[in-house]
Amino acid sequence: MTKPDPENRNLLAGEYVLGTLRGAARRRFEQLRDQDTQYCEDADDWEKRLNLLAEAIPGIEPPPSLWEGIEKRIRQTSPMRTLWRSASFWRGVSVVATAAAAALLVLFIQTQQPQAPQAPSQVAVLSDKESKPTWVIRTDFAEHRIAVETLRPQDQPQGTSYELWMIPGANKAPVSLGVIAPEGTATIALSNAQFDILKSAAALGISLEPAGGSPTGAPTGPVLYQGVLIPART
């Protein structure tokens, strides 16, 4: 198998450290890491950078109900290994780990790429069907604009466009934020109507549309990337 170029190798190392590289791809990376010191150096570099970011994340006090639930389960199943083998326990651990990885990724991007808007109000990391982070969207309520950035260039079929959509929630129809490029960084100014919807939007998505965007005002092609909007720390 051909080894990836340095840029893709570095992206793979980042996904490996975050834990988003899974299955055969993760095993392949581990094999290459054992054979090539450069893979080890890339992974070590990501670990150092992300460890520093992890230290900067404030602690979160769990709600009392969580501790009550743990104590109740311990009383009901005295051997601790019963909880250790519980599928629901590991599903909870998986959710926490995934959320932590997403938070680290957002913090890393904000630290490494301080582009406009400088003080985002919200951040969304849009992932593809394989859960690989692909786009970063930052909203700026003060300036009524958003910044769009691709984490890696995307292949765009000829005669098509990528279109960014707000997903308001509550069974409301998606609202377009405009056509975006398959690579690089861009800033989009929002109309008053778009801004009012964005303030309460739940998520964002990117669909593949005919050149120039959807002819109907609604997504007509597949939604290839999506992610939730989360408040940015100030």
Q: What is the number of residues in the chain?
A: 234
CA distance to 98, 122, 169, 182, per residue, from 228 (Å): 13, 10, 11, 20
Work out the mean pLDDT of the chain and round it to a whole number. Answer: 76
Least confident of 86-90, 169-173, 176-180, 217-221: 86-90
Tell me: pLDDT of 150 over 70: yes
Domain locations along the chain: 1-104, 122-231
Domain 122-231 indexed as CATH 1.10.287: no
Cβ contact 126:137 at 8 Å: yes
Q: Which residue has the higher pLDDT, 153 or 64?
A: 153
d(CA 43, CA 110): 20
DSSP category for residue 91: H
Tell me: pLDDT of 111 over 80: no
Alpha-carbon dihedral angle through residues 178, 109, 204, 159, given to the nearest 10 degrees: 40
What pLDDT was estimated at residue 79? Answer: 43
Highest-confidence segment of 12-26, 120-134, 143-157: 143-157
d(CA 196, CA 76): 50
Tell me: pLDDT of 32 over 80: yes
- Quickly state the pLDDT bin for 29 (edges 50, 70, 90): confident
CA 173 from centre of chain: 23
What pLDDT was estimated at residue 107? Answer: 55
Total H helices, total E strands in the chain: 7, 9
pLDDT digits (tens, 9 = 90+) for 194-207: 999 998 888 899 99
- Quickly state the pLDDT bin for 43 (edges 50, 70, 90): confident
Look up tokens 């501790």; give the residue.
Answer: 67
Q: Show Cβ contacts of residue 54 under 8 Å, excluding neighbours closer than 6 positions.
A: 104
- Quickly state the pLDDT bin for 120 (edges 50, 70, 90): low
pLDDT digits (tens, 9 = 90+) for 162-194: 999 998 876 788 999 999 999 999 999 999 999
Range 95-115 average pLDDT:
52
